[in-house]
């Protein structure tokens, strides 16, 4: 497998820098904090880290509103801190991926400050500007994901500008070739600095319909989106015109051509469209993105049938590309809470990691998944997320998955000597790294054991996948590759479940760090959230 690109089958650990470790006492995590904890990350057995934005930003959307794509925000440190992080990660054998946000900037970016002044400045056409209708209303019916109209009036130009997200996140005009080139230029800046790849935020939002056509209405029974709720007016439309335009393909090919000049550099695109699986397959075919992922497993749906059907649909559509799967990230409730309720069992956390890391593809795991952290309950008065503040109380926003990493059981969880930017959850202190390090049966130590075992399983890292037709709540499939054939079985239930092994001779696998499953006469009895791996003999 030495000729296989490093990212195929890789496990990528997402670090949300605000909440990882604070070293200067301001209550916000920073790049030196990541440097201090890279040995811990390496001990997990993951292959790479993905660092959420640390660029200069007014932090209206906590770094996803970038004011300078080449500068580190002083809140997080300096470029020299990033260089130290990169060097240490590489010494530890970790690849480093960073977020890039192509589709929009902060309204404090120098490009937008210039663009908004008038119609004739050099950056006048760098953002999506449009005249009002005759009655002064916005040019079309497009809506923002964060609620309300996707257009904001600018009196200096007497025009509206487009914002698919916050009004302080104006959308760039990728129909302008100068915008495309400026984007490629700052991507190259980070490649030259030595990064190994990029997670591309909302990559299908770069281009908009140049004719500004209205989005058609969506029937009430279809108002179910990935990453937004049915009470958000954004769910009331088919988003055919404000994103996922055909012109994006050519730009992705330009991005790929740039990365091909840097051996081993990789792109991972975040995709949220009307048919995210089809778009993921399209965007990863040919010389486009290396990998893509969507919100399909970041939802409340939790059944063997849903997971089997979702992965199978992508497998059928993705004839060339490579998938990446995730069940948690910084935008959704933590998986053990979504799928296990308010008091999730430790075995659920162990099972979820094993399950997602056994699907065909690469994997993104979010900080704290290795501890089995549940969603934190952040009171309204402590909320920071503008999305949650707007939609409270039906939707509490994203703060509950962004609370500080619990390193110890102390009051501050070992995160900061100051007041943390979000409160530390009491339940998290009991699940701290220090506590779990000392417990041989902990989620953390099971995680480490599983990752070490997985690396030695060629079928799991890069093999094919074939699902078995099982009844709920059992999910089962066979992975085959590298001279190995492995059966993977997961009980997606808090009650025991029976599973009849397929025909053939199967030998239960050892050393994966999960509780053993007894097999008797071709039948396995899975305990609550139980997992069985077996090799064909």
Q: What is the pLDDT of residue 223?
A: 87
Task: Express as a percent the part of the chain with pLDDT over 90.
Answer: 92
Q: Which of 270, 282, 399, 412 is catalytic?
A: 270
* Calculated CA dihedral for residues 498, 503, 515, 401, nearest 10 degrees: -80
pLDDT tens per residue across span 226-280: 556 668 899 999 999 999 999 999 999 999 999 999 999 999 999 999 999 999 9
pLDDT band with cut points at 50, 70 and 90 for residue 412: very high
Residue % of the chain over a pLDDT of 70: 99
Is residue 201 part of the annotated active site? The answer reads yes
pLDDT digits (tens, 9 = 90+) for 168-225: 999 999 999 999 999 999 999 999 999 999 999 999 999 999 999 999 999 998 887 6
- The residues pairing with 303 across neighbouring beta strands, listed in sequence order, are none
Catalytic residue among 201, 296, 315, 385: 201
Section 479-507 average pLDDT: 96
pLDDT digit string, tens, across residues 279-292: 999 999 999 999 99
Q: How confident is the model at residue 1 (pLDDT cuts 50, 70, 90)?
A: very low
**What long-range pairs does 157-160 form, CB within 8 A, spacing at least 24?**
157/116, 157/117, 157/118, 157/119, 157/129, 158/132, 159/129, 159/130, 159/131, 159/132, 160/129, 160/130, 160/131, 160/132
**Domain 11-103+177-452, CATH:** 3.20.20.80
Average pLDDT of every residue of the chain: 96
- Residue spans per domain, the chain: 11-103+177-452, 463-536
Q: Which pLDDT belongs to residue 2?
A: 59
Query: Does the bond joining 71 to the residue before it have cis omega, within 30 degrees of 0?
Result: no
Assign 3-class secondary structure to 282-337.
HHCCCCCCCEEECCCCCCCCCCHHHHHHHHHHHHHHCCCCEEEECCCCCCCCCHHH
Count, residues in the chain: 537
CB 302 within 8 Å of CB 234: no
Euclidean distance between CA atoms 296 and 327, whole angstroms: 9
What integer pLDDT is reported at residue 112 of this predicted model? 98
Instruction: Quote the pLDDT of residue 32.
Output: 98
Vertex 532: Cα angle to 527 and 534 (nearest 5): 155
The fold of the 463-536 domain, in CATH, is Immunoglobulin-like (2.60.40)
Specify whether the CB–CB gap between 468 and 478 falls below 8 A: yes
Instruction: Kindly report, residue by residue over 295-343, the tens digit of the pLDDT.
Output: 999 998 889 999 999 999 999 999 899 999 999 999 999 999 999 999 9
pLDDT per position as a tens digit, 90-117: 999 999 999 999 999 999 999 999 999 9
Catalytic site residue 381? no
């Amino acid at each position: 497998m030495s000729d296989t690109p490093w990212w195929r089958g890789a496990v990528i650990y997402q670090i949300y820098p605000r909440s990882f470790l604070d070293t200067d006492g301001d209550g916000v995590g920073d790049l030196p904090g990541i440097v201090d904890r890279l040995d811990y990350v390496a001990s997990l057995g993951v292959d790479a880290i993905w660092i959420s934005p640390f660029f200069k930003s007014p932090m209206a959307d906590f770094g996803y509103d970038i004011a300078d794509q080449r500068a580190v925000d002083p809140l997080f440190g300096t470029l020299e801190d990033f260089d130290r992080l990169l060097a240490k990660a590489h010494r530890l054998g970790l690849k480093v991926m960073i977020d890039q946000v192509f589709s929009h900037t902060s309204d404090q970016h120098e490009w937008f400050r210039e663009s908004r002044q008038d119609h004739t400045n050099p950056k006048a056409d760098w953002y999506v500007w449009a005249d009002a209708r005759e009655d002064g209303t916005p040019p079309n019916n497009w809506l923002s994901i964060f609620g309300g109209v996707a257009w904001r009036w600018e009196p200096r130009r007497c025009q509206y500008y487009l914002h698919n997200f916050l009004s302080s996140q104006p959308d760039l005009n990728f129909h302008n070739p100068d915008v495309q080139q400026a984007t490629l230029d700052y991507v190259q800046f980070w490649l030259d600095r030595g990064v190994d790849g990029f997670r591309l935020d909302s990559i299908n939002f770069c281009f908009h319909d140049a004719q500004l056509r209205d989005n058609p209405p969506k029937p009430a029974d279809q108002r179910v989106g990935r990453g937004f709720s049915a009470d958000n007016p954004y769910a009331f439309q088919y988003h055919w015109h404000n994103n996922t335009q055909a012109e994006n393909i050519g730009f992705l090919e330009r991005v790929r051509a740039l990365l091909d000049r840097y051996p081993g550099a990789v792109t991972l695109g975040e995709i949220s469209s009307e048919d995210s699986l089809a778009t993921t397959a399209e965007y990863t075919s040919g010389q486009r993105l290396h990998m893509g992922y969507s919100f399909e497993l970041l939802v409340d749906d939790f059944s063997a049938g849903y997971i089997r059907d979702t992965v199978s649909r992508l497998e059928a559509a993705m004839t060339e590309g490579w998938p990446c799967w995730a069940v948690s990230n910084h935008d959704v409730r933590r998986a053990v809470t979504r799928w296990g309720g308010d008091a999730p069992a430790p075995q659920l956390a162990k099972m979820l990691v094993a399950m997602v890391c056994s699907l065909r593809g690469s994997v993104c795991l979010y900080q704290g998944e290795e501890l089995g952290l549940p969603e934190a309950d952040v009171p309204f008065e402590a909320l920071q997320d503008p999305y949650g503040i707007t939609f409270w109380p039906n939707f509490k926003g994203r703060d509950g998955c962004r609370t500080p990493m619990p390193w110890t059981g102390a009051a501050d969880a070992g995160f900061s000597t100051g007041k943390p930017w979000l409160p530390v959850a009491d339940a998290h202190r009991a699940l701290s790294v220090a506590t779990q390090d000392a417990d041989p049966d902990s989620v953390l130590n099971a995680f480490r054991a599983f990752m070490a075992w997985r690396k030695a399983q060629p079928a799991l890292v890069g093999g094919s996948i074939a699902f078995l037709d099982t009844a709920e709540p059992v999910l089962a499939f066979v992975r085959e590759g590298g001279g190995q054939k492995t059966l993977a079985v997961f009980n997606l239930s808090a009650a025991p479940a029976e599973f009849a092994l397929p025909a053939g001779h199967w030998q239960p696998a050892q050393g994966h760090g999960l509780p053993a499953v007894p097999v008797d006469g071709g039948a396995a009895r899975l305990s609550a959230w139980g997992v069985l791996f077996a090799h064909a003999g």
